[in-house]
Chain A
Amino acid sequence: MSSELKIALVGNPNTGKSTLFNVLTGLNQKIGNFPGVTVDKKLGSCKLSDERTVQVIDLPGTYSLYPKSKDESIVFEVLADRNNSAHPDLVVIVADASNLKRNLLLYTQVADLKIPVIIALNMMDVARKTGTTINVDALASKLGVRIVPIAARQSENVQALKEAISNASRLALQEDTIEVEALAPGLIGKIREELQVDAPYVALQIAHQHENLTFLTAAQSGRVEELEREFSFHSAKSQAAETIARYNYINDVLFDTVETTNDARQEPVSNRIDKVLTHRFWGFIIFFGILFLIFQSIFAWSEYPMGLIEDLFVWLASAVQAVLPEGILADLLVDGVIAGLSGVLVFIPQIAILFAFISVLEDTGYMARVTFMMDKLMRKVGLNGKSVVPMIGGLACAVPSIMSARNIENWKDRMITIMVTPLVSCSARLPVYTLLISLVVPDTRVWGVINMQGLAMMSMYVLSIVSAILVAWVMKGLIRARDRGYFIMELPVYRFPRWSNVGLTMYEKVKAFVFQAGKVIIAVSIVLWVLASYGPPGKIEAAQQKYDTPEYSQKFSPEEIGRMKSSQKLENSYAGVLGHAIEPAIRPLGYDWKIGIALITSFAAREVFVGTMATIYSVDADDSNMDSVRDKMNNARDTETGRPVFSLATSFSLMLFYAFAMQCISTIAIVYRETKSWKWPAIQFGYMTVMAYVAGLIAYQLLK
Chain B
Amino acid sequence: MLSSGFIVLVAGLYLGGLFLLAFLTDQRARRGAARFVGSPVVYTLSLAVYCTSWTFFGAVGSAARNGLEYLTIYLGPTIVLMGWWLLLRKLVRISKAQRITSIADFISARYGKSASISALVTIMALIGITPYIALQLKAVAAGFDALGTPFDVPVLSPERGLFADTGFWVAVCMAAFVVMFGTRNLGADERHPGIVAAIAFESIVKLLSLGAIAVFCVWGLSDGVQDMFAKAVANPRVEPLFGFAEGFEGRWITTLFLAGAAIVCLPRQFQVAVVENADERHLATASWLFPLYLLLISVFVIPIAISGLTVLPDTANPDLFVLTVPLSEGQETLALIAFIGGLSAATSMVIVASIALSIMISNHLVTPLLLRIPSFSGPRAGDFSATLLTIRRCSIVAILTLGFVYYRVTASSNPLASIGLISFAGAAQFLPALVGGIFWQRATHKGALSGLFAGFLVWGYTLLVPSFADAGWAFNDMVAQGPWGIALLKPDALFGFAGWDPLVHGVFWSMTINLTVYLVVSLLTEQSPLESLQSALFVNAFQRGERQVEGVLTGSARTEDLFRLTQRILGPERAFRIFRDYAREHGDGDELPEPDPTLIAHVERQLASSVGAASARTLVSRIVKGETISLDAVIEILDETQQAIRTSRELETKSRELAKTAEELRQANDKLTRLDRMKDDFLSRVSHELRTPMTSIRSFSEILADRPDLDVAESSRFLSIIHHESERLTRLLDEILDLSSMESGQAAWAMVPVDAARVVREALDTMRGLATAHGVTLESILPDGGAPVLADADRLKQVIVNLVSNAIKYNDAAAPAVWVELREDAASGWVTIAVRDNGRGIPPEARDALFAKFSRGWNDLSRARGGSGLGLAISRQIMQQLGGTLEFDAEAEETTFVVQLRRHAGDIAAQ
Are these two chains actual partners, yes or no? no
